[in-house]
Amino acid sequence: MIRKSPSHKNMLPFPTIVAASAGNIDAINAVLKHYEGYIAVLSTRRGYDQNGIPLRYVDEELRRRLEIKLIKKILAFKVA
């Protein structure tokens, strides 16, 4: 049995990609939803609470920035 790598397991369907790059709002939302987990991982930062205990938290500012950047770039994507 060949184990597929995670990126192969679930990819966005082709029509969604076409619609999203054309500016369809529902499709763009689907893309954002699809990359929600990856965005959360990227925007996780390590810090310390008042007692000096290490903790991880999601940097909301970074999360928003990533979402906005992704939307901007989806619209620039050319389906060759």
Partner 1 sequence: MERSSSNNKGKTVQHQFDSFCRKVLKGEASNYRKALARRLQYEVTFSELSEKELNQLYAMDEYATDYYLFQVMGYDVEVKDELIGEALEALPEKKRNIILLSYFVDMSDAEIGELMNLVRTTIYRHRTSSLQQIKKYMEGKADDKKKSEP
Secondary structure of residue 46 in the 3-state scheme: strand
Least separation in angstroms between residue 23's CB and partner 1 is: 15
Amino acid in the structure at residue 49: D
**Among 25, 24, 2, 27, residue whose Cα is nearest residue 12:** 27
Q: Is 38 in the site for partner 1 (CB under 8 A)?
A: yes
Q: Is 74 in the site for partner 1 (CB under 8 A)?
A: yes
Give the interface with partner 1 as residue ranges (CB under 8 A): 7, 11-14, 17, 31, 35, 38-39, 42-43, 62, 65-66, 69-70, 73-74, 77, 79-80
